[in-house]
Amino acid sequence: MISSPNNKSSGRVILLEDVSVRFDGVAALSDMTFEIEAGEQLAVIGTSGAGKSTLFRVLTRSVALGSGRVTIGGQDLYSLSRRRLNGLRRRIGTIYQAYNLVPQLSAGVNASLGEVGGMGSLRTLRAFLTGPDAGLSERVRAALEEIGLADKAGVRTADLSGGQQQRVAVARLLVQRPDLILADEPFAAVDPVTTERVLETLLHLNSEGATLVLNLHDVEIARRFPRVVALREGRVVFDGPSERLTEDELASIYAGDPSREESARNPDPPFARHGNEGAIRLTEGRDGVSSH
């Protein structure tokens, strides 16, 4: 277990110490040090290429460390045996821009993968051959209903819209009930209604004890989070309450980002949109890099 509602106040759940990652000699993360408390809601922001997706890949040990140490739930992530690593990963729920669903399978089967990932191989095989057992079927149904896709359980995921696919990814989390949720730009390609629905569900899972870490290219949703960490060129350049994200801070976090400078030239207003329609920007944020 990484955390549970019962030990929500038990302090930090993730600790990064001087973490560096390099790709072909080029630094993606440099000397990154910060911690995340159990049950926290954390938004990670930064321009495209700042290192946000690499940070998430570090947290699932999906990329080699150049140096430093990552501790999750008191365990040194990069020293775990393969078996213990797999056990830990089952407690981590992920949502990526590309949804990481199996397009040929139905929405219901994709949602049930939240559980299948935690089952032994015999039960997994049986679930695929004979369908999920009654308990799992009911949880899948309830999860799809919660995110408004009750009527899509049998539909091939590839035939759903992007927003619906993102909601299937969230249904999978509802089935999985992870201790830690890593959502990498979950709103990059979805409409405002889906954004609100997905955010609401993620916050619901958080209220039940899951630690929630989101990567956002766009700062407006980050403002709704109590704590924001900003990355720039692989380094933490801001870590604090979102109210402290002043225009000056944002200007330095996003300096050189063409989409930012564009919005600064055409104030809409630039960094402080209010109201429901203006609050969420949908046209940017696909960085393409995380699909490497």
Could you say which of Mg ion, ligand ADP, none residue 40 binds, taking C-beta under 5 to 8 angstroms by partner kind?
none
Closer residue to Mg ion, CB minimum distance, 166 or 290: 290
Q: Which of 83, 265, 274, 292 binds ligand ADP (CB under 6 A)?
A: 292
Q: Which of 54, 106, 165, 211 binds ligand ADP (CB under 6 A)?
A: 54
Token pair in block for residue 157: 């995921």
CA atoms within 13 A on the CB side of 215: 27
CB 54, min distance to ligand ADP, A: 3
From the list Mg ion, ligand ADP, none, pick the one residue 49 interacts with, judged by a Cβ distance below 5 to 8 Å according to partner type.
ligand ADP
287 near ligand ADP, judged by CB under 6 A: yes
Q: Which residue of 53, 106, 164, 176 would you call a contact of ligand ADP, by CB under 6 A? A: 53
- Say whether residue 94 binds ligand ADP (CB under 6 A): no
Which tokens is 126 given?
């049986």
- Quick check: 223 binds ligand ADP (CB under 6 A)? no
Residue 28 touches ligand ADP, criterion: CB under 6 A: yes
Contacting ligand ADP (CB under 6 A), which of 39, 51, 132, 285?
51
Using CB under 6 A as the criterion, which residues of the chain lie in contact with ligand ADP when the complex forms?
23-24, 28, 46, 48-54, 287, 289-290, 292
